[in-house]
Structure 1
């Protein structure tokens, strides 16, 4: 019986200490530490190539092939998913236009990416000189990848 009391006291003390930890963000709870959050995300790829070229995209993860898409100027392709519990979710896309192509990650577990995407939605725009990510933290697009020559 003493073991049970000692065990319960140890749990109470650890919960008390972690609930008052100033290192945690104010919205973080003890439950968030014990059970990791699985986030809902949306990824969008937009054709913003002003020369009116068709943008070809083919996006995948380890488990999902999202198919091939041909986007005209202003068209977009979006998908929703939940990040896995191990935080290893990765999506990448092959993009090509008349005179260039690229293979690029469009989602991976990275706090900088999450911050830029506003912790819920990443918007990528293909433009004449490369692929841009909408940085919601500063309200502007950032060039993250330039086109490789060829097809």
Structure 2
């Protein structure tokens, strides 16, 4: 009887993933846009927990990089971005935290299921989905490059 109840609860839990109010098991996207002036490239690398990092991508001006994922409990995805052409300016930021407060306060809600970031000359901005406005969240740091 316990096995039947466990199976029923498991199937029920999986079936409710389509409900709008449930965060876990929801499909989500992180998008990063390169709006750097002077036709500069943006170098991107993201990571989630102990999983392997994404490959390093070089994003041309006025294009968007997308990472699609499913939200699980304690999902955390952070990204490193560098401003071309010399890649001395760097920013590291939490691109997604699997908490309602982050999605609501930082990304501006779940509709659409995107947390949209934009690299500009003065730093990294996030778009509030509800209003369409951008807010500066991180300024560029200078990376110390040592010659070997």
What TM-score does the superposition give when structure 2 sets the normalisation length? 0.71
CA distance in 2, matches of 1:67, 1:89: 19
How many residues are aligned here? 117
Is 2:143 the counterpart of 1:142? no
Superposition deviation, residue 144 in structure 1: 0.7
- Equivalent residues in 2 for 1:34-73 (5 A)? 37-62=24-49, 63-73=51-61
Corresponding residue for residue 8 of structure 1: none
Match of 1:95 among 67, 70, 81: 81
Alignment match, 1:17: none
Residue matched to 2:116: 123
Determine the C-alpha separation between the residues in 2 that align with 1:122 and 1:83: 13
Secondary structure, in 3 states, of the residue corresponding to 1:66? coil
CA deviation after TM superposition for structure 1 residue 126, in Å? 0.5
Distance in 2 between residues matched to 1:41 and 1:66, nearest whole Å:
16
Residue 110 of structure 1, CA deviation: 3.0
- Go from structure 1 to structure 2 and tell me whether the alpha carbon gap of 1:80 and 1:65 turns closer, same or farther (over 3 Å shift): same
- Give the deviation of 1:124 after TM superposition: 0.6
CA contact (8 A) 1:58 1:69 kept: yes
Q: Please report how far the alpha carbon of residue 109 of structure 1 lies from its aligned counterpart in structure 2 after TM superposition.
A: 2.3
Runs of 4+ in 1 over 6 A off after TM superposition: none
Q: Deviations over 1:1-49 (max 9, x none)?
A: xxxxxxxxxxxxxxxxxxxxxxxxxx76xxx6xxx74221011111110
Gaps of 5+ in 1: 1-26
Looking at structure 2, the residues matched to 137 and 112 of structure 1 have their Cα atoms a distance apart, in angstroms, of 14
